[in-house]
Amino acid sequence: MKATFFDGKKMILEKNYPDPDFNETLVRVDLAGICGTDLEILDGYMQYTGILGHEFVGTVKQSNNSELIGKRVVGEINAGCGKCDSCTSGMERHCSTRTVLGILKRNGAFAEFLSLPEKNLHVIPDSISDEQAVFIEPLAAAFEINEQVSLKPEWNVAVVGDGRLAQLIIQVIKLTCSNVTCFGKHENKLQSLVQSGIKIKLGIESTDEQLFDLVVEATGSNSGFTDTMKLVKPRGTVVLKSTIASRENLDLTPTIINEITLIGSRCGLFKPAIDALATGKVSVDSMIDSTFSLEKFEDAITYAKKPNTLKVFLKP
């Protein structure tokens, strides 16, 4: 099969890469999305080698479940051992020996085919397009905040960052909290939020400091953490969504002084995300940007790194 292999330093197009493990369900990748995590991996995050890509929609080509064959699916990216305490309690994403699609010891979606356990797959309704379906994995990560924090409608909420994940998080939080402000650096991205009733800010003013009950950091940078700590109230809550390849030290002193609750937040359940897209509660169409063939992966990566770019797709 065709695949893009990352050797730890660069990506290479392989035209005869070995097919995936047929002991699992085999999925033909119809469309894959380039995520901020993919770009972080290219900068050294996770020290991963293999096929990148964990946001995808595809068609089942081979499965032990004949009813799945030919169905359009997306897939949860963590595959646990199935035996440990984390797995038996439904928390495969925290299995100590898990593999993670395109991130940890498992080849991902920047290829013609991938494989996942059957239980990881979700059939997508016809009302959701391929482009929309690719957003289900990051949208599930946004909904994970609801699982970790009991949102209160009266809360004053800030989201730091204006990229793809940040905009999904904003839409999810807005379902509960009406007072949401996005702090970003790219005016064109911020303007798309205005019509949704989101307050936008380019930079932080002194009147913004220690104003917010909940602050979600989704910038992918150390400076984003610093800004987040300026915004949160004493004894407020901070949700950290970024994975940062940088090895710079973060100053946690304000966390202690102001008694801030820090919550790390990663993957989420797919069902709330699928339901939100199918019912129109969340819209992703404004974030759809450009599609590149797998052979043009270098152009796609370069374009995805540009500050004003939203979702870029690879089509095997």
Return the ∠ at Cα 281 (arms to 157 and 200), rounded to 5°: 35
Backbone angles phi, psi at 136, to 5 degrees: -65, -40
Mode of pairing for the β-strands spanning 232-240 and 212-217: parallel
**Number of neighbours of residue 50 by Cβ within 10 angstroms:** 21
Contact 312, 34 (CB under 8 A): yes
Q: What is the CATH number assigned to the segment(s) 3-135+284-315?
A: 3.90.180.10
Distance from the Cα of residue 189 to its chain's centroid = 17
**Which tokens go with 267?**
């993957």
Backbone angles phi, psi at 16, to 5 degrees: -130, 50
Structure confidence at residue 245 (pLDDT): 53
Whole-number Cα distances in Å, 81 to 85, 117, 168: 10, 11, 30
**Cβ neighbours of residue 284 closer than 8 Å, sequence gap 6 or more:** 131, 132, 135, 139, 168, 277, 311
Contact 136, 89 (CB under 8 A): no
**Number of neighbours of residue 63 by Cβ within 10 angstroms:** 20
Structure confidence at residue 45 (pLDDT): 86
Overall residue count recorded for the chain in this entry: 316
Separation of alpha carbons 165 and 74, rounded Å? 18
**Which tokens go with 262?**
């820090």
Asked if the domains at 3-135+284-315 and 140-264 fall in one CATH topology, the answer is no
Pick the CATH number of 140-264 from 3.20.110.20, 3.40.50.720, 3.40.50.1000, 3.40.80.10: 3.40.50.720
Structure-token match 């820090």, residue found = 262
Short-list 202, 239, 28, CA closest to 114: 28
Backbone angles phi, psi at 119, to 5 degrees: -65, -15
Structure confidence at residue 30 (pLDDT): 98
Mode of pairing for the β-strands spanning 156-160 and 179-184: parallel
- Please state the domain extents for the chain: 3-135+284-315, 140-264
Separation of alpha carbons 242 and 160, rounded Å? 10
Contact 182, 200 (CB under 8 A): yes
Separation of alpha carbons 56 and 60, rounded Å? 12
Three-state SS at 302: helix
Mean pLDDT score of the chain: 93
Query: Global pTM?
Result: 0.93
Helix (H) or strand (E) holding 212: strand 212-217
Helix (H) or strand (E) holding 97: none
Ranges of the chain whose pLDDT falls below 70: 244-248
